Amino acid sequence: MDVTYRIRGGIPLRGDVVVGGSKNAALPLIAASVLADGETVLQNVPKLRDVEAILRVLQFLGAETSFVNSTVRIRAQKIRSQPIPSEYVGSLRGSILLLGPLLARFGVAEMAYPGGDVIGKRPVEAHVEALRQLGAENMSNDDVLHLQGKLRPGHVILPEFSVTATENVLMAAAFLDGTTTIDLAAAEPHVQDLERFLVAMGARVEGIGGHTVTVAGSHILHGVTHRVTPDYLEAGSIIIAALVTRGKVRLHGVDRFHLLSFLDALRRFGCVWREDEAEQALFVDGELSSLRAMQVRTNIFPGFPTDLQAPIGVAMTQAHGVSRLFERLYEGRMAYLYELEKMGAHVEILNAHQALIIGPTPLRGRIVASNDVRAGAAMVLAALCADGETTITDIRYIERGYDRLDEKLRSLGARIERT
């Protein structure tokens, strides 16, 4: 059964909201629990389909898990490596994060190819090549992703700044007795959260937050209690919601250093915001903001996040002048612009990576689709500032990445109904 959002736009958002835990951090932390002796306790975990899906995979492999409120508990002592069928991983891109831990602990990892959003090519080659440099043998075929072999610490040069490939190598290296150096490592906040988690488990990690990371691993890692880092992508989306509805919103639990490039772009954009460092809060004043056209180029962290490209694209429809978007990472990330055009946006798509957005244009309520997690969030933002009622279909994508987004927006005054 299709679940939809029905949103009545034109209402300024007002009030306080607490930013939830990051899905992109929670998934690798859950995967890393495979390496732990004892109980792993993760707090501030978002209640999302992807989180529940990866816990089901761990249960299939023999782990004991529980998820109560926002706390996940995992005991992986009885886990075993066995082929993971498509029914468990076919719609979960994050399941690829089990490659590194399973291979390091058992010498073999086998699963159907992971699924997930369709936002362009997200191949597994970076993972395979990185683990091959630690000694893995690639036994994969067209149907099954299969790596095996005894891993050895060494020097890994990632073929690209892949977040999940970096995380796979970090987890594998943490379990190997000896030192591994990783070059061209991704440095996103959720990667840093995993690095700190591995340190707490007993590994030594140097270069946290950098593109060269050294891991001194240990065959004995212990379970720990860890609080998942806040979701800076959720924070960015709510900031833009306040901006396009000309509201006033205070976000709690925001780490400004996770959003440096994004917040700098907003300042150039004409957004009025200020930080309360003592309370770890960010206040956005959409009423005083006056948006003007700008250019945004997505990049690896600490550059402008690709996952906030679609939300900023919505904001550009309300800015004066011609804005330019450059999507450097994924060729499928601009499909949401066709949905925006249905709502009245003036868009010129130059190619799969570039578009012009001419504003300001009033948006009108329509029936639109959620093409992926971030595109779905963008449709919610567009609906919030549109005239009339918008129906957003396929919101299962949104609910894979945002924890109770509709509830949080309702708490700020939005008229949004989940049906």
CA atoms within 13 A on the CB side of 375: 23
| Between 49 and 200, residue with greater pLDDT | 200
Residue 118: is its pLDDT beyond 70? no
Q: Is 237 helix (H, G, I), strand (E, B) or coil?
A: helix
Strands 39-43 and 71-75: antiparallel
Return d(Cα 32, Cα 365) in angstroms, integer.
44
Residue boundaries of the structural domains of the chain: 5-20+230-418, 23-227
DSSP at 208: T
Which residues does the annotation mark as catalytic?
A: 117
Q: Which DSSP string do the residues of 289-358 spell out, in sequence order?
A: ---B--EEEB-STTSB-GGGHHHHHHHHTTSBEEEEEE--S-TTTTTHHHHHHHTT-EEEEEETTEEEEE
Does residue 126 contact residue 162 with C-beta atoms inside 8 Å?
A: yes
The residue among 150, 208, 159, 89 whose CA lies nearest residue 98 is 89
Starting at the edge strand found earlier in the chain, the sheet holding 248-252 runs: 14-18, 248-252, 281-285, 272-276
| Between 91 and 220, residue with greater pLDDT | 220
Q: Is 182 helix (H, G, I), strand (E, B) or coil?
A: strand
Q: Which segment of 78-92, 143-157, 231-245 scores lowest on mean pLDDT?
A: 78-92
Residue 116: is its pLDDT beyond 60? no
pLDDT in tens, 59-94: 999 999 999 999 999 999 999 999 999 999 887 888
Residue 396 binned pLDDT confidence (cut-offs 50, 70, 90): confident
Q: What is the pLDDT of residue 248?
A: 97
The position carrying tokens 């900023």 is 312
The residue among 406, 392, 390, 394 whose CA lies nearest residue 10 is 390
Q: What is the pLDDT of residue 397?
A: 86
Q: What is the pLDDT of residue 117?
A: 43
Q: Domain 5-20+230-418 is of which CATH architecture?
A: Alpha-beta prism (3.65)
pLDDT in tens, 16-71: 999 999 999 999 999 999 999 999 999 999 999 899 999 999 999 999 999 999 99
Residue 1 binned pLDDT confidence (cut-offs 50, 70, 90): low
The residue among 258, 240, 263, 256 whose CA lies nearest residue 301 is 258
Helix axis angle, 23-32 to 99-106, nearest 10°: 10
Tokens of 319: 């800015």
Tokens of 164: 């999940």
With b meaning 16 or more CB within 10 Å and e meaning fewer, what string describes 212-231?
Answer: ebebbbbeebebbebebbbb
Residue 122: is its pLDDT beyond 70? no
Percent of the chain with pLDDT over 90: 86
Q: What is the pLDDT of residue 276?
A: 87
Please tell me the pTM assigned to this model.
Answer: 0.93
Q: Domain 23-227 is of which CATH architecture?
A: Alpha-beta prism (3.65)
Calculated CA dihedral for residues 42, 43, 44, 50, nearest 10 degrees:
30
Residue 381: is its pLDDT beyond 90? yes
- The amino acid occupying position 319 is A
Does residue 392 contact residue 380 with C-beta atoms inside 8 Å?
A: yes
Does residue 110 contact residue 129 with C-beta atoms inside 8 Å?
A: no
Tokens of 317: 């429809």
Return d(Cα 359, Cα 281) in angstroms, integer.
30
Q: Do domains 5-20+230-418 and 23-227 have the same CATH topology?
A: yes
